Amino acid sequence: MKRAYFLFRKELTSIFVSPVAWIIMVLFTLVMGANLYLSMIAVSGDLKQLVAAGYGGLVSWFMLLVIPPLITMKSLADENRQGALEVLMVTGISDASVVAAKWAAAWTFYVILWCCLLPLWGILGMVGVLDTGVLFVTHLGLFVVGAAYCANGILASALTSHPLASAGLAFMFNVGLFMIHWLRFFFRPGDLELLWVEYLSAVHHIGDELTQGILDIRVFVWWGSFTLLTLFLSARVLERRRW
Amino acid sequence: MIEIENLSLSFGDRRALDDVSFHVPKGAVTGFIGENGAGKTSTFRVLTTWLLPDPETVSVRVGGIDLLKDPHAACSRVGVLPEQLALPGELRVDEYLKFRSRLKGVSGNRIHDEVVRVLNAVNAPEMIRRRLDTLSQGYRQRIGLADALLGDPPVLLLDEPTRGLDPRQITQFRELIDGLRGNHTLLLSSHVLGEVEQVCDRICVISEGQIRLEEDRETWTQRLDQLGRLHLELDCPDTGAKSQVTQWLKEQPEVSAVENEGSVWSIQADRTLRTRIGKKALDEKWIIQELRSEPATLESLFLQWTGPEKKKAQS
């Protein structure tokens, strides 16, 4: 575990010394800031509706689907291609630790990105009445869904040896997960299958529950389990060189 | 220090290493030579636990630890300078080496001293705050070697350490490797056989995943002496005299082969024959234009040991 922590620290340092990370951060804040501004106009300044309008809209979903693949695309793919992974593994660190550390660094950066928007909410809170509970729960949801999307990115990065291929594959995984929501059109209200779709759908969790202030622990169980399973698969993919 | 017994490694149906057995004694510098795809890097990858050998492998011991039983402990006994050295360009030298020290289990209060020690060992202490992406190829290799030395592992594996270096850097790097002799057991893979000849105490030749030869310097030097040739050029007036010279050379006990073309003879023999040729020339009034020995190189020995005839004979 110690080694995983050291690797996590190094990965996070590497992310923050790279100009790409800062460019992503600035662009993310600008786009999401503009999105919140437009959403506020759409809800006529009602801050209670702003969380759902701002974080449940297309722009947020686009960010959710695109940002994790961009953060994780170099994690394993590039290192595998350059031989850096081999250099790393000869120190005796386990495959699972490498996967865990790389994911943790990517997810931490993802969390920091969303936290960049908190000052905007702080300013809004000073001029109006903000439901901090809803905001907190929504952020928890974004973090837990993002954890799974980052895990998808790590898996894609382990499966390929080119960063762009990794980003493309991770984006496909994330879109696949996102599209589960639209399976509901195949079922009628009251069908058991519809409950399953809702249980698995990120759009339902964020758009219909968390941004409305509904905190369902099953949401965290599902996304947490999915993240762990994906990370386990990633570690197995790394181990394939020994098969 | 490195003892490999019947090591086999397969990738699907292809056998990359086939019953490889060799040993590297403590403190020795051993050259591990072979053609591309012969199995050098695969052997290194097994020694670093990057790859797992086939189940029929008997034992792979590194620094006294059986790698098959305790791969983690074996890892800590090995330092590696890989052929493909990928350094994170965004980090500074000390940041990178500190990170590597932590991964290798160097205790927190010793890390700074350890980084300074290894940078001094590779003659690059002034690079401590330089960013890795601003280093020249020579210094990158030195930082790679410094990384391998972290934690003072008894065994060092150097895969093509002078690849991409200019002649001055190669000489400096060779001196560095020479300085490690005795304190560490080195296994050095290289295609530059002149370098192996200069630096190594032993050689191990691998071809098509099998060990073809394992010898110490004394034995291979003797072998090279036997393979050495003498070049003789005489001012010979007629064909009769030429055949007389050829006949006399063939009668000498040290000579194993004689080739004649015009007034030039190429003789496979010990170089001590030169004195006798000189005496004979005086007696017979031969006019010597040129007489020099052409020592055999490790390259010729390597070609002989990995050539098609040898492979056929061994199979």
Q: In degrees rounded to 5, what are phi and psi of residue B187?
A: -115, 115
B50 inside 8 A of chain A by CB: yes
B280 inside 8 A of chain A by CB: no
Q: In degrees rounded to 5, what are phi and psi of residue A229?
A: -65, -45
CA distances from residue A197 to A151, A178, A179, B81, B88 in whole angstroms, order as listed? 21, 11, 10, 52, 43
Mark yes or no for CB contact A14/B51 under 8 Å: no
Give me A49's structure tokens: 């509706």
Mark yes or no for CB contact B86/A241 under 8 Å: no
- CA gap B140, B144 in Å, rounded: 6
Mark yes or no for CB contact B75/A18 under 8 Å: no
User: pLDDT tens digit string along A34-44?
Assistant: 999 999 899 88
Question: What is the residue whose two structure tokens read 């295609």?
Answer: B191
Contacts of B258 (CB under 8 A, 6+ apart): B246, B249, B250, B265, B266, B267, B268
Q: What pLDDT is attached to residue B308? A: 63
Mark yes or no for CB contact A83/B84 under 8 Å: yes
A150 CB neighbour count, 10 Å cutoff: 32
Full strand arrangement of the beta sheet holding B264-268:
B257-261, B264-268, B229-234, B288-294
User: Cα B164 from chain centroid?
Assistant: 17
- Spell out which residues of chain A touch residue B80, defining contact as CB-CB under 8 Å: 87, 90
At A17, which helix (H) or strand (E)? helix A2-17
pLDDT at B315 over 70: no
For B1-99, strand residue ranges (E) read 2-11, 14-24, 29-33, 59-62, 65-66, 78-81
Query: Which of B132, B137, B138 shows the shortest CA–CA distance to A10?
Result: B132
Q: What is the CA radius of gyration of chain A?
A: 19
Q: Bigger pLDDT: A149 or B1?
A: A149
Q: pLDDT-based confidence at B123, cuts 50/70/90?
A: confident
B91 inside 8 A of chain A by CB: yes
Determine the average pLDDT of the residues in B217-221.
Answer: 83
DSSP letters spanning B11-23: ETTEEEEEEEEEE
Q: What pLDDT is attached to residue B307? A: 67
Quote the mean pLDDT of chain A: 88
For B99-181, strand residue ranges (E) read 155-159
CA atoms within 13 A on the CB side of A122: 5
Q: What pLDDT is attached to residue A56? A: 82
Give me B310's structure tokens: 């040898």
User: pLDDT tens digit string along A192-205?
Assistant: 888 888 888 877 77
